[in-house]
Chain A
Amino acid sequence: MATVRTSNTISLPLASRLTTAVVSLLLGVFIIYGVGLSHSETLHDTAHDTRHSYGFPCH
């Protein structure tokens, strides 16, 4: 157990990681689309300063 803690790789097989990875990726992409790229006016105005600061194309 102690040796696993220092390892930089995950021993869990891909099959048991895949669902979480896909869910996490989809959720993250959905969020970043909403924050940075969506043309919704409400989202644009709310996220305005973050979009500029983050370097997303804005306006």
Chain B
Amino acid sequence: MLVKYLLATIIAGLFAGIILTPAMYVKNVPLILHAEEYESAGGGGHSHDTPASASESAAVTPHEHAEEAGPELPFGRLGNTLLINLVAGAGFALITGAAALFLGHRITLQNGIYWGLAGFFIFNFAPAFSLAPELPAMPAADLAMRQTWWLITVILTAGGVYLIVLREQIWAKLLGVILIVAPHIYGAPEAEDLTSAVPPTLASEFAVSALATNLFFWVVLGTALGWAIQNYASSELEQ
């Protein structure tokens, strides 16, 4: 077991998770909070749910949803998000490190950014192409169906990226393109009724800011992976 390699991977993931948290608070979390105001305002098929009239605003005060008593861990909204980002960072780092190890490739400080970009493409960009990052209270198809589509898309895209980037043969590159495009031609599950209480401007702002934030996260993660593996685990990989 290459213990140093595993530890270096986890350290890089935790680091990227810490950095991700303030990045999320620049745009994504404020947009989520904003959207939740509309969620508490009723949602459904009405297009007049925006608190336009000041006299009616008592019925749709933004704060009603804020204290929804859920069974979440007791570290507060920011604390929970930081904790989950740390764990998620480690998870994505472990998967990326495992892929490099399977393939016999070394993640270095120089090529780390490319591993990060591949991760971004596989886990964020490709699924978002047909299933854009969504805000609370937006109309959506059945959760389990969307999750299944997301997972299949991630796996197919990973295979596609491998075939295009690491295989020389022309048939492999063509097959890679087919794998990446196939889930989008098949199509992601869509909600039947697209009317939403969340203004479309918020939704489009969120889709872009979520992708930008995740791109930043993956660039940090890839670079950190290269740095950590190079500094702490290279002796293990030299036999």
Query: Residues on A close to B: CB < 8 A?
Result: 1, 4-5, 7-14, 16-25, 27-32, 34-37, 39, 41-42, 45-50, 52-59
Asked if B104 and A28 make an inter-chain contact with CB atoms under 8 angstroms apart, the answer reads: no
Would you call B83 and A46 a contact (CB within 8 A)?
Answer: yes
Does B94 lie at the interface of the complex (its beta carbon under 8 Å from any beta carbon of A)?
A: yes
Judge whether B200 is part of the interface by a CB distance below 8 angstroms. no
Chain B residues with CB under 8 Å of A57's CB are 131, 134, 140, 143, 146-147, 150
In the complex, what distance in Å separates the CA atom of A50 from the CA atom of B98? 23
> Is residue B223 contacting chain A, with contact meaning CB distance below 8 A?
no
A5-B234, A10-B106, A31-B91 are known contacts. Are A55 and B24 too (CB-CB below 8 A)?
no
CB distance from A32 to the nearest CB of B (A): 4
Secondary structure class of chain B's binding surface, majority of residues: helix
B108 touches A50 (CB 8 A): no
Closest Cβ neighbor of A29 among chain B residues: B95
Known contacts A9-B106, A10-B105; decide if A28 and B95 are in contact (CB<8 Å): yes
B106 x A58 contact (CB < 8 A): no
Q: Which 10 A-B pairs have the closest CB atoms?
A: A31-B91, A28-B94, A45-B72, A28-B95, A57-B146, A25-B98, A55-B133, A45-B70, A24-B98, A21-B101
Q: How far is the CA of A50 from the CA of B133 in the complex (A)?
A: 11
**Min CB gap A38→B, angstroms:** 10
A49, B24: Cβ atoms under 8 Å?
yes
Known: A28-B95, A47-B88, A59-B136; 12 extra A-B contacts, CB below 8 A, are A7-B106, A10-B105, A16-B239, A17-B101, A25-B94, A25-B99, A45-B71, A46-B72, A49-B28, A55-B132, A55-B133, A55-B210
Asked if residues A9 and B105 are in contact (CB atoms below 8 Å), the reply is: yes
B23 to chain A, nearest CB (A): 9
